[in-house]
Amino acid sequence: MRQAILEAPRRLGWRELAPAQPQPGEVIVAVRVALTCGTDLKTYRRGHPKLAFGPFGHEASGDVIAVGEGVTAYAPGDPVMWVQTAPCERCECCRAGYENLCRHLTDDMALGAYADAIRLPRHVVRRNLFPKPVELSYIEAAFLEPFSCVVHGWRILSRTRAGTQGRRTTPAASEAPSPWEEHTVREEARRADLPAHVAIVGAGTIGLLHLTYARRAGVAATVFGRGSERLALAERLGANAAVELGGAEVPEPLRASCTAVFECAGTVEAWQTALSLAAPGGCVVFFSGLPEDTRVPLDAGRIHYEEIACVGSFHFTPDDVREARTWLVAGAVPARELISGVLPLSALEDAFANLEARRGYKYALVPDGAPAEWV
């Protein structure tokens, strides 16, 4: 099998590997599609504080080729979807309920989706591997990872209850609910903890996925981004307004109504803009990471005198992944709008060149020899 290796910033190599044999608890999957991701682009450009150079690519779906001893839920041929990590369940963060911050999160990840096949480690198989329903395309299924991150961001926001002063929460269900009812009740309770209007800074894939979540959750969203094409897509996907970043001054009534702001552009300026947009008593969710050791000067007056909560959102928990899967299966994620092209795996470098030139949002890589079309 062939696997892409990131050897250094902007240096991509390929290596041939013998077909992997699964160890106990592991699953080997033939990759049917791997998606490019902002994190991969960052790693490609400059390396990543949490990821070493080597095999990369983590948003994918495919068909099981082989299962290790003890795996009974899957068999060769099964279409599956997964995310690249799972918590250890033992460290202090896991035990405290912060599974997304697991100290061993990056110890044994399912990285290397830009390849013919990928090995899913035992803990990923146990917590974060799922059957792919037939109604879900492989490309849609590969959105599981980015959408899990987005779901997590909203969970973080609902915890702050920004902009919900004086609103009643939905009472919990009394009878033991079915899993779907449970999901709905949980969702409604969470919605009661959500503001009426959010601002989203950044109109890339992640910004637009946040917009998707907002619209489905009944929350109005204003998107701030760059470029008329991106802003037009934001409007098509239901943004109340799509505003050019750095353009005209943001009108005060709009600013005053953005109780929560998602920062999804990944620059120092975007972090500062996000804080400037939050209404008094509001919240900023810093969703995108910045290069290691970045310091961001923030307006202390706004944080203190206007009680703006500043919170980070990182990665996802298995609960977020399950919820994201429910959304995907319900057809809530506009994958077709966000995939800018389907390319053979060997054109991986072209996909990154396009992304660096801000051409397109996300590319789907399919095995060489397979038709380069929606799968």
List strand residue ranges (DSSP E) for 202-323, in order: 220-225, 241-244, 260-263, 283-286, 309-312
CB 30 within 8 A of CB 67: no
- Alpha-helix residue ranges (DSSP H) falling in 68-143: 92-95, 122-128, 138-141
Contacts for 61 with CB less than 8 Å, ≥ 6 apart: 31, 32, 33, 79, 80, 81, 82, 132, 138, 139, 141, 142, 144
Residue placing its CB nearer to Zn ion in the complex, 224 or 316 = 316
Give CA 234 to chain center in angstroms. 17
CB of 50 to Zn ion, least distance (A): 12
Compute the least distance from the CB of residue 149 to Zn ion, in Å: 7
Whichever of 87 and 153 has its CB closer to Zn ion, that residue is 87
How many whole angstroms separate alpha carbon 344 and alpha carbon 314? Answer: 31
Closer residue to Zn ion, CB minimum distance, 101 or 375: 101
Nearest residue to 113 (alpha-carbon basis) of 371, 366, 369: 366
Smallest separation (angstroms) from Zn ion to the CB of 52: 17
- Looking at residue 158, its amino acid is S
Pairwise CA distance, residues 192 & 85, whole Å: 30
Smallest distance from Zn ion to CB 37, Å:
3
Q: Are 1 and 117 in contact (CB under 8 A)?
A: yes
Q: Residue numbers of the site for Zn ion (CB under 5 A)?
A: 37, 39, 59, 87-88, 91, 94, 102, 145-146
**Closer CB to Zn ion, 146 or 207, in the complex:** 146
Nearer to Zn ion, 177 or 360 (CB): 360
Residue 208: helix, strand or coil by DSSP? helix
Spatial separation of the C-alpha atoms in residues 245 and 3, rounded to whole Å: 39
Enumerate the β-bridge partners of residue 33: 61
Min CB(102)–Zn ion separation in Å: 3
Please report, as a single letter, which amino acid is at residue 342. V
Pick the closer one to Zn ion by CB: 259 or 317. 317
Rounded CA Rg of the chain: 21
Shortest separation between residue 247's beta carbon and Zn ion, angstroms: 29
Q: How far is the CB of 343 from Zn ion (least distance, A)?
A: 17
Of the two residues 93 and 329, which places its CB atom closer to Zn ion in the complex?
93
Given the complex with Zn ion, which of 95 and 167 has the nearer CB atom?
A: 95
Closest approach, Cβ 34 to Zn ion, in A, equals 11
